[in-house]
Amino acid sequence: MNARYILGIDTSCDDTGVGIVELRPGGGVTVRANRVWSQTVHAQYGGVMPELASREHVERIDDVLEGALEDAGLTLGDLHAVAATSGPGLVGALLVGLMYGKGLAQALGVPFYAAHHLEGHIFAAAAEAELEAPYLALVVSGGHTHLFDVLAPGDYRLVGATRDDAAGEAFDKVARLVGLGYPGGPAIGEAALRGDPDAVPFKPPLKGQSGFDFSFSGLKTAALLAHRAGAKPDDLAASFQQAAVRTLVETTVRAAQATGRPTVVVSGGVAANRALREAFGRTGLRVVFPGPGLNTDNGAMIALSGAAAIMAGRAPSPLSVGAEAYAPLATVAAS
């Protein structure tokens, strides 16, 4: 059998992503294209405006698809399957990519696979090292902070999650507080290079808990108080980042010890953070991160989900599948 090409579409939030992966007969997978249009319209509001996100997806998706095909050196007729995110995410935004993907699959006469956004993030990292389960997966993004025990692809157990803000959301809010703009994660990372991480003391969140949950609202409030007390933005950025990284790494290490998993994949937008990567590098665990361009939302991770579904012999999704704002990964795993 020849190589098969799978298209993946993600429009769950404010990035219009279309990616293509090549699935070789032996089971190897290579990312052939990964085009993302990151919507800039939201910057002026300091957060994502759902209605504007949907409209932008509609306006951009044709061009993003064309660019991905061009990068891969393929035409629509070369595609063997289409995957698109059905949830979780902003419903109006999800619907754009989901309907587009279903229509494309039907027009081309190829199977369609609905994909779970968080599973896509996990596959983005897992593909880097062709991992064997079981392993832990920490998904840290603007909307999620979830720690899963991956028993097998498609079989996930939730080990811990944030009790309030997502990690990326906290980075974004602290960045806005000190005037660093949106999205704040990369801006905090840069400002932190110039600041003193020990200048502002942050209390460790959920200290003494026996479980593996996360909390970021206390760090956010502490940042606000320090800002009002006159802390320098660079010092505040460095200190906040250190505290956020510490809680993510320490909780994950404890979970790895408790479950006996030697390997952790870390994915989602915040996985691009250099301090987080360095801190995980010092843990002694085997830690796998997504490759360049695969941390933040993208279509290639959804194409990887499609490839995994094909390899696992999963039946294609019915074209009646709908978009779901709230979709716990466990329900998808059971389907």
Is residue 119 part of the contact set for ligand KG4 (CB under 6 A)?
A: no
Q: Amino acid letter at 291?
A: G
Q: How far is the CB of 169 from ligand KG4 (least distance, A)?
A: 6
Q: How far is the CB of 162 from Zn ion (least distance, A)?
A: 14
Q: Which of 322, 306, 325, 295 is nearest to 38 (CA)?
A: 295
Q: Which of 141, 140, 128, 8 is nearest to 64 (CA)?
A: 8
CA distance 151 to 261: 10
- DSSP string covering 31-45, please? EEEEEEEE--TTGGG
For ligand KG4, which residue of 252, 297, 306, 327 counts as binding (CB under 6 A)?
297
Q: Residue 10, annotated ligand binder?
A: no
For ligand KG4, which residue of 186, 204, 293, 328 counts as binding (CB under 6 A)?
186
Enter the tokens of residue 182.
């949106």
**Interface mask toward ligand KG4 for 249-288; x: CB under 6 A:** -------------------xxx-xx---------------
**Interface mask toward ligand KG4 for 2-41; x: CB under 6 A:** -----------x----------------------------
For ligand KG4, which residue of 97, 142, 290, 299 counts as binding (CB under 6 A)?
142
**Interface mask toward ligand KG4 for 99-118; x: CB under 6 A:** --------------------
CA distances in angstroms from 52 to 158, 170, 191, 297, listed in the order given: 32, 23, 29, 17
Is residue 183 part of the contact set for ligand KG4 (CB under 6 A)?
A: yes
Contact 129, 29 (CB under 8 A): no
Is residue 141 part of the contact set for Zn ion (CB under 5 A)?
A: yes
Q: Which of 269, 333, 292, 294 is nearest to 115 (CA)?
A: 333
Q: Residue 121, annotated ligand binder?
A: yes
Contact 93, 57 (CB under 8 A): yes
Q: How far is the CB of 118 from Zn ion (least distance, A)?
A: 7
CA distance 295 to 290: 6
Q: Supply the DSSP symbol for 174.
A: H
Of 62-70, 97-105, 181-189, 231-239, the window that binds ligand KG4 (rule: CB under 6 A) is 181-189
For ligand KG4, which residue of 184, 218, 233, 316 counts as binding (CB under 6 A)?
184
Question: How would you class 78 by CB atoms within 10 Å of its CB: exposed for 0-12, middle for 13-18, buried for 19 or more?
Answer: middle
Site for Zn ion in 289-308 (CB under 5 A): 297
CB-based contacts of 278, cutoff 8 Å, min separation 6: none
Q: How far is the CB of 76 from ligand KG4 (least distance, A)?
A: 27
Q: Which of 160, 159, 184 is nearest to 172 (CA)?
A: 184
Is residue 296 part of the contact set for ligand KG4 (CB under 6 A)?
A: yes
CA distance 248 to 256: 12
Q: How far is the CB of 235 from ligand KG4 (least distance, A)?
A: 17
Is residue 97 part of the contact set for ligand KG4 (CB under 6 A)?
A: no
What residue ranges bind ligand KG4 (CB under 6 A)?
A: 13, 141-143, 168-169, 171-172, 183-186, 189, 268-270, 272-273, 296-297
Residues making up the annotated binding site are 117, 121, 139-143, 172, 185, 273, 297
Residues making up the annotated binding site for substrate are 139-143, 172, 185, 273
